[in-house]
Structure 1
Amino acid sequence: MPETLQLLKYTYVEDMATLRAPHREAHLAAIEASRQAGDLVIGSAVGDPVHTGLLGFRSDTPAVAEAFAAADPYAAAGLIVSFTVEPWVVVTPLP
């Protein structure tokens, strides 16, 4: 049965792979906390070199994803150029 997630898509600054290093541990800790809370089900950086991040949240509204983006250490460090949140209908089973 399809499930609708809220897909958070980041656009990162150039040279993200280098610039994220001092903030990566805190960013990954935020991801893990959201996963343990049951909100985040999938996430990853995209590209080589990295230029985008995608994170899928279980939520009926974009609010959870937007709150994550606002509190993300990458945002505080100025590494996120922009972000969007859109519904994503997933047709394969999720854990």
Structure 2
Amino acid sequence: MVSKKVTIVNAQGFHMRPANVFAAAMMKHPCDVTLRVNGKDVNAKSLMNIIAACIKCGNEVEVICNGADEDAALAEAVEMIESGFGE
């Protein structure tokens, strides 16, 4: 298991477009990917769960990856969040 805490930087937070891009990217990895935000664990491969978590700009999110390819999944997830999803 690997994890890293990152802060959401895009002004609109995890709205529909970045949540969809993020979930689709995480689906490519065979490991479990979880977002821990506001004391809740969210399945990062589920668009609806990400949207339901209401992740806003400035929220600190811990990305947790567990299983095969976990290092690559974590690196991709962190890069996407820190880049603000290109927004």
Q: When the two structures are superposed, what TM-score results if normalisation uses the length of structure 1?
A: 0.44
Query: Considering only CA atoms, is the larger Rg found in Structure 1 or Structure 2?
Result: 1
Greater fraction helix: 2
Q: When the two structures are superposed, what TM-score results if normalisation uses the length of structure 2?
A: 0.47
Greater fraction strand: 1
